Amino acid sequence: MAALIYHIFSSSALTSLGLYHIISTTRNHLKSPRDYTAKPYHPFPSLSSASASPYHRLKHLQLYLLILCLLISFAHQLIVSTDSDPLLKGRTPVHRFTSLQSAAVIFLFLLLSLSILLSETTSLLPFPPDLFFGLASALFFLQYTVSSSAASVQTSDLQAKCDSVSARISALSSILCLVLACHPRLFVADVGVGASICLQGLWALQTGLSLYVDAFIPEGCHKLLDVVRGVEGSTKCDLDDSKLRAVAILDLVFVIHVMFVVVIVMVSYAAVVKTVGIRARFGSYEALPTVAAAAADSNHIQMKALTGTQA
C-alpha cells in the first residue's frame, strides 16, 4: 500500500510540474514571440511583480515544493534500499543497488533545483539557462541508464516493462533538454520538455496501478507468493502467452497516455491563448501591406516624382 501511495505522490508531482511548465512556456511565447527564450524556472506571474507585498517570496513556491518532493523521493529510495526482506534474484539483493542508484539520481536533481533557487534569490551562483538545460539533459540520460539497468535485472515481468518505458521517456526528456541547451529559442522543444514530464508522471501512476492494484494486473499474471513476507509489486506471468499479452496491454496503455498528453498540450495552448489574447501573439510583428495600400503608395511616389520634374 505504501508503494502505491508513493507512485500516486510521484505522479501528482510530475504531472503538475509538467503542466505548469507547458502553461508558463506558452504564456511567455504568446506575450513576446521575438524575445522568447526557454527558461528553467517560471515564477508565478501574479506574485512576481508584487515586490512590496509580504507574499513576494511566494513567487518561488514552485521551487520550494519541487525541492520538498525531491527530498521525500530521496528518503523513500533510501528506505527501500534498506529493506530487510527484499525480493532476491539468486542471493543478491538487486533492488538495493537499483534503489541506491535512483536515490543518487534524485539527489543530483535536488542539487540542480537548489542551484536554481540560489540563482533566483541571490547573486552567489549565476546560473545561465543553457547550462541548466545541459545539466538537466545529462541527469535525464543518467536516469535513463538507471531505469534501463533496473529493467534488465527485474524478476517481475511487469516491473521490467514499466521500467523500460520509463527509461524511454527519460531519454526523450534528455534529448529535448540538449536541444534547448543548443537552441534556447525553440518553442516546440520547450513545450516538449513539459509534455515529457507530464507523460512520466502519468506513467508513474500507471506503474503503481499495474503492479499494486489487483484489478489492473493483466490476466495470467499474479503477485509472487514465494517470498517470506511478500513484496509489493513482485508480479510474474507464468506463461509466455500471458507475458506477451501483458506487454501488449502496457504498450497500448502507453499510447493512450501519449494521446492524453497531446490533448493536454492542445487544451493548455488554447486556454492560454484565450487568457492572454490572440493580439499578444502577433503584437510584435509588423502588418503586411495590402494590395490596395501598396498601389496607393506607388501612385503617391509617382505623383511626387512628376511634380518634382515639372518644377
Q: How high is the pLDDT of residue 283? A: 44
Q: How high is the pLDDT of residue 21? A: 94
pLDDT tens digits for 35-57? 889 988 888 765 544 444 555 66
User: Exposed, middle or buried by CB within 10 Å (0-12, 13-18, 19+), for 214?
Assistant: exposed
Instruction: Indicate the SS3 state at residue 221.
Output: strand
Q: How high is the pLDDT of residue 226? A: 45
Q: How high is the pLDDT of residue 228? A: 43
Short-list 307, 132, 138, 156, CA closest to 223:
156
Cβ-contact 38, 189 below 8 angstroms: yes
pLDDT tens digits for 94-145? 667 788 899 999 999 999 999 988 888 777 777 788 899 999 999 999 999 9
Cβ-contact 166, 157 below 8 angstroms: no
Would you say the C-alpha torsion 225, 148, 175, 6 has a positive or negative sign?
positive
Q: How high is the pLDDT of residue 46? A: 57
Q: Which amino acid would we find at residue 190?
A: D
Q: How high is the pLDDT of residue 287? A: 42
Contacts of 19 (CB under 8 A, 6+ apart): 194, 198, 264, 268
Q: How high is the pLDDT of residue 253? A: 94
Q: How high is the pLDDT of residue 155? A: 66
Contacts of 94 (CB under 8 A, 6+ apart): 86, 87, 88, 153, 154, 155
Separation CA 108–CA 152 (nearest Å): 23
Separation CA 174–CA 292 (nearest Å): 51
Average pLDDT across each block of 10 residues of the chain; the chain has 311 residues. List them in order.
Answer: 84 93 92 87 64 60 90 89 56 69 93 89 80 94 90 76 92 95 92 95 92 82 56 66 88 95 95 74 44 51 48 47
Question: pTM of the prediction?
Answer: 0.81
Separation CA 199–CA 15 (nearest Å): 7
